[in-house]
Amino acid sequence: MLKVLNISPSDLSLSSSLLLIFVVDNIGHAPISTNIQSINDVYKFLLKPFLFLLSPEKAHYFTLFMLRLTLSIPGLSALFRAQYRVQDPRLRRKVLGLTFENPVGLAAGFDKDGKYFRDMASLGFGFIELGTVTPKGQVGNPQPRLFRLPADEALINRMGFNNEGVEALVSRLQTQRPEGLIIGGNIGKNKVTPNESATDDYVACFEALFPHVDYFVVNVSSPNTPNLRALQDKGPLTQLLSTLQDLNHQKSAPKPILLKIAPDLTDGQLDDILEIVQETKIAGIIATNTTISRADLRESPQRIEAIGNGGLSGQPVKQRSTEVIRYLSKRSNGKFTIIGVGGIQTAADAIEKLEAGADLVQIYTGLIYEGPALVKNINKAILQKRN
């Protein structure tokens, strides 16, 4: 099969190999996974250990390329949907005034520029959040800037809002989207924009994307843009969100605006967030972004030090993310929407966040460690929980 596609093993990413296996198993060739319970077992136990030797960023982009290539084969898109999508009216959620076909979404950062959301929709997501996007394109931080921590089932990234700019994203959103798919727009500021002028960047992205997305996420919590997290302070954050809400209410049909927060906030800072939500009347919170903490990691201190700065995602952030969700939900009496993200590696992790008070959940790092069947597994577990 590799010879047919003229792809050497050194050029294969984790998911691209999985996709090739899926193709072979589903278009009439001899099954590769005969002695294994599922394609996801092939992903986790045969391919991942070898393919994790490749650089994470190269693997990411090649994975997306191979997904698109695979789905271009006649009939494969339908096979993917049949394999991964769980269609059941009991999964449907009415949240933010929108109807989500299921509560599992793809977190921001995976498809920053809107190049692959149609392909990723074939994996069964109920919604996909694009970005973070900035007014002008920027290359982000120097490579390497993405690192796996296999012992912790985690990633460290310091991507730095690398994206092609909001107009490039808008151009890709002007074509028809997959039926029923909810699209979110995660917006940020350019690195060269001082915090005093940050509101202008968020306004530019908001206005450009408004006709093309279903909801907005204001990202002031990434640790990879200098001084960005200072915008989480009560004064500047209130001013930023109030400005966006004023613009929003001038529209004939305002759209939900959510705030993405860091897991590193203290309870006092979370109380400030609650007051800001109440004052500005934004629709909700996404909890949480990546953490700057390196506590209790299994990876060696030497390697962690060698990697350096960046946001940590995956299993190590799971507990704190859930704590933040529970705190916000209880203190607000469930008065606003919470989207839970951070450390969802299993269906049980997702259900834990929903039970803590999240209305919807998002995944990213879990896809890398658990494979594309994670979306289906979460939705099936939600249905089992309802029985």
**Domain identity same for 174 and 210:** yes
- Across residues 85-112, what is the average pLDDT? 97
Same-domain check for residues 58 and 111:
no
Buried/exposed code over 177-190 (b: 16+ C-beta within 10 A; e: otherwise)? bbeebbbbbbbbbb
Domain final residue pick, 31, 55, 84: 84
pLDDT at residue 38, rounded to an integer: 58
pLDDT digits (tens, 9 = 90+) for 32-81: 444 334 567 767 776 677 677 779 998 888 778 878 988 888 887 788 78
**pLDDT at position 47:** 66
Is a pLDDT exceeding 90 seen at residue 12? no
- Are 88 and 96 contacting, i.e. CB atoms less than 8 angstroms apart? no
Task: Give residue 339's identity as a one-letter amino acid code.
Answer: I
CA distances from 1 to 12, 17, 197, 206, 360 (A): 13, 10, 53, 45, 39
Please name every residue paired with 218 in a beta bridge, in sequence order, or none if there are none. Answer: 187, 259
DSSP run (H or E) holding 115: none
Distance from C-alpha of 217 to C-alpha of 307, rounded to nearest angstrom: 29
Burial class for 268, CB neighbours closer than 10 Å (0-12, 13-18, 19+): exposed
pTM: 0.91
When mean pLDDT is compared across 71-75, 279-283, 347-351, the lowest value belongs to 71-75
The domain boundary, picked from 84, 110, 129, lies at 84
Torsion of the alpha carbons at 311, 116, 162 and 17, rounded to the nearest 10: 60
203/258 same-domain check: yes
Using DSSP's 3-state secondary structure scheme, residue 123 falls into helix
pLDDT exceeds cutoff 70 at 6: no
Average pLDDT value for residue range 349-374: 95
The catalytic position among 222, 313, 321, 329 is: 222
β-partners of residue 287 are 261, 340
Domain boundary among 52, 84, 116: 84
- Is the same domain home to 44 and 183? no
Same domain (yes/no): 341, 381: yes
Check residue 22 and give its pLDDT.
46
Q: Where are the alpha helices (H) located in the chain, listed in sequence order?
A: 2-5, 14-26, 39-41, 48-51, 56-71, 76-84, 117-120, 166-173, 198-209, 234-249, 267-280, 301-307, 318-332, 347-356, 365-370, 373-386
Q: Which of 143, 108, 141, 147 is nearest to 297 (CA)?
A: 147
Tokens at 345, concatenated: 């590696």
Same domain (yes/no): 146, 23: no
Domain identity same for 154 and 58: no
pLDDT in tens, 225-236: 999 999 999 999
| Residue 70 pLDDT | 82
Q: What is the DSSP letter of 257?
A: E
Tens-digit pLDDT profile for residues 209-219: 999 999 999 99
Same domain, yes or no: 242 and 352: yes
Q: Do 180 and 99 lie in a common domain?
A: yes
Q: Residue 47 belongs to what domain range? A: 1-84
130 with 159: CB under 8 angstroms?
A: no
Q: Specify whether 103 is located in the same domain as 202.
A: yes
Single-letter residue type at 160:
G
Assess contact for 269 and 331: CB atoms under 8 A: no
Give catalytic status of residue 222 as yes or no: yes
Structural domain count of the chain: 2
DSSP state of 42: I
The answer on 182 and 78 residing in a single domain is: no
**Is residue 6 located within the same domain as residue 145?**
no
114 compared with 30, residue with greater pLDDT = 114
Instruction: Report the CATH number at residue 128.
Output: 3.20.20.70
Tokens of 47: 């391919």
